[in-house]
Chain A
Amino acid sequence: MIKIEVDMNQCQHYGQCVFEAPDNFKLNDDDKLEYVAEAPDSERDNIEAAVDVCPMQAIRIVE
């Protein structure tokens, strides 16, 4: 299991992570980010890509 943390003080809801890891991240109808904090190991590449593309660098994988 991968554990994900998003610093919601930093997050500006740009939603770039949504394209990389749609199983874990989505923008709701109010344009706010919602996320699932756990992902199977098979999702690691996608989660890392989501970390990379976050303009605010607000996403972390907790090892």
Chain B
Amino acid sequence: MSEANPAAPVVIVGAAMGGLRAAESLRRSGYTGAIRVVGDELHAPYNRPPLSKEVLATDVTHEAVAFPSRAEMGDVEWMLGVRASAVDLDARTLTTDDGNVQQWRALVIATGLRARRLDFAPIAGRHVVRSLDDAMALRAELTPGARVVVVGSGFLGCELSATARKLGCAVTIVTPSAEPMMRPLGDLVAKEMRRRLTEEGVEIFSGVNVAAINGEASVESVELSDGTVVPADVVIESVGSDCNTEWLESTDLDLSDGVLADNAMRAVSTSGLARDDVYVVGDIARFPNPMFDDVPRRIEHWNIPTDTGKRAGAVLAAHLADDGTFAEVVAKPFAPMPSFWSNQFEIKLQAYGLLGLVSDDDIRILEGDLTEQAAVGYYRDGRLVGVLGVGMKAALLPYRKQIADGGS
């Protein structure tokens, strides 16, 4: 491996929340050298959650969702509209789709996820929502009376259904699962979610797949695996996402699910070695969180890009400073509390911890009544690993603390 060139910039690939937070953290941790952020979207970093909720329900503009830019970020170089295509970890170079090869001193991987698509021929009226451009294109078609089929019933699919309904569309959810949001929430809560969504006028076909999307010039109907044909003007595919790791394929990094990182957010190779000059942040990072155990996991929650970006920036700054503090910074405890929220009609969900770690379906109503407001606990081997508030917020705080303290 060649010596790192100290004049080369720290290159951050992915100009979204994770990349932004890593850059801010490098500056705040005292790194004053060059930083370059390379991203394939044309927009400066923006906040994605409103794109399925508040902002989609009104006007979708960059201004409405842009992250504020801090003064200390003034000399960060943004290369937007440029896609990373390959990287050489030994030579420390990055190749982009405009044909350029650039040197880096350290690399931050922040390329996140992209929406998975159903495997049907392209036709007008098919949509996904991951980016601002996606949301703008969809918004234009969510006109009152439009017939919208949402495929998939995760949080995103349910939020998009609620927003489309609010905008006056006729909305049908088509999902292979038994209940909406079944996997994260569990049967009991998911059944209540179905009741509420149905009450708001969303029709739900569950336990079925899409067999065909029909139409001449644009979508006219969706055919389900049980033969049902649902008329449709718009199809929103919310069927999961894939990690943007293609540009890393020629490296020896562990790409088995996202990019493997250690607890200091350093990228880890297939032979288990962590690199001090390559970091991973955000949705794409698979890292161990000692709040739960030592199993590395990817966590697609909004707080993770910020927490991991801050952590990576601090560790990398210490590495580059080379002032003897590195080991101490790496050893600092890093156990971010996962948290997410979801708004659908009057349903306000908020959660802490990892509900998905529940064992033996050990889900308990801790407070309240599911049909109104409730706090729901998710247990693994008798320890609290997640708490969900249905309309409840402040009441969750003691449970949040219990999770942080190890669950008992």
Contacting residue for A15 out of B21, B67, B337, B394, CB 8 A: B394
What string of 1s and 0s marks CB contacts (under 8 Å) between A34-63 and chain B?
A: 000000000000000001110111001000
The residue that A57 contacts in the complex, of B68, B393, B394, with Cβ under 8 A, is B68
A16 at the binding interface (Cβ < 8 Å): yes
Please determine whether A27 and B67 come into contact, CB atoms closer than 8 angstroms.
Answer: no
Would you list which residues of chain A between 1 and 50 have a CB under 8 Å from chain B? 12-16, 18-19, 27-29, 31
Chain A residues with CB below 8 A from B339, complex form: 16
Known interface pairs A14-B341, A14-B393; A57-B47 also in contact (CB < 8 Å)? yes
Kindly state the separation between the CA atoms of A57 and B64 in the bound complex, as whole angstroms.
10
Least distance between A35 CB and chain B CB atoms (Å): 14
**Could you tell me if B302 and A52 are in contact, using CB atoms closer than 8 angstroms?**
no
Other than the given A14-B350, A19-B337, A57-B65, 6 more pairs (CB < 8 A) read: A15-B394, A51-B68, A52-B306, A55-B47, A56-B50, A57-B67
User: Any chain A CB within 8 A of the CB of B392?
Assistant: yes
B49 within 8 A of partner (CB): yes
Task: Report 20 cross-chain contacts, Cβ distance below 8 Å, ordered by A residue.
Answer: A12-B341, A12-B343, A12-B348, A14-B341, A14-B350, A14-B393, A15-B394, A16-B303, A16-B339, A19-B337, A28-B394, A29-B394, A52-B21, A52-B306, A53-B306, A55-B47, A55-B49, A55-B341, A56-B54, A57-B65
CA distance A27 to B343 in the complex (A): 19
In angstroms, Cα B303 to Cα A57, docked, is: 13
- Count of A-B contacts judged by CB separation below 8 Å: 37
**Which chain B residues have a beta carbon within 8 Å of chain A's beta carbons?**
21, 47, 49-50, 54, 65, 67-68, 302-303, 306, 337, 339, 341, 343, 348, 350, 392-394, 397
Cα–Cα distance between A13 and B65 once the two chains are bound (Å): 18
What is the CA–CA distance of A28 and B395 in the complex, to the nearest angstrom? 10
Residue of A with least CB distance to B50 = A56
A15/B393 in contact, CB under 8 A: yes
State whether B394 touches A31 (Cβ < 8 A): yes
- Which secondary structure dominates where chain B touches chain A? mixed
Instruction: Give residues in A with beta carbon < 8 Å to B.
Output: 12-16, 18-19, 27-29, 31, 51-53, 55-57, 60
Residues of B close to A13: CB separation below 8 A = 393
B348 (CB) vs chain A CBs: closest residue: A12
* Inter-subunit contact B341/A60 (CB<8 Å): no
When the two chains form their complex, are residues B303 and A53 in contact, meaning their CB atoms are under 8 A apart?
A: yes
A31 and B392 alpha carbons, distance in the complex (Å): 7
Least distance between A32 CB and chain B CB atoms (Å): 9
CB distance from A63 to the nearest CB of B (A): 8
* Chain B positions within 8 Å of A19 at CB level: 337
- Hey, which chain A residues are within 8 Å of B306, CB to CB? 52-53
Q: Which single residue of chain A is at the shortest CB-CB distance from B47?
A: A57
Q: Is the CB of B303 within 8 A of A60?
A: no
Instruction: Tell me the minimal C-beta distance from B230 to chain A in angstroms.
Output: 33
A18→B401 CA distance, assembly (Å): 13
**Chain B: CB-nearest residue to A52:** B306
Choose among B49, B67, B302, B393 the residue that contacts A31 (Cβ–Cβ < 8 A): B393
Which residues of the other chain, B, contact A52 by a CB distance below 8 angstroms? 21, 306
Could you tell me the distance between the alpha carbons of A14 and B339 in the complex, rounded to whole angstroms? Answer: 11
A14-B341, A57-B67 given as contacts; is B21 within 8 A of A27 (CB)?
Answer: no
What residues of chain A lie closer than 8 Å to B393, measured between beta carbons? 13-15, 27, 31
The 3 A-B pairs of least Cβ separation, nearest first, read A27-B394, A31-B393, A31-B394
CB distance from B53 to the nearest CB of A (A): 9
On whether the beta carbons of A60 and B68 are closer than 8 Å, the reply is yes
CB distance from B347 to the nearest CB of A (A): 13
Which residues of B lie under 8 Å from residue A15 when comparing CB positions? 393-394
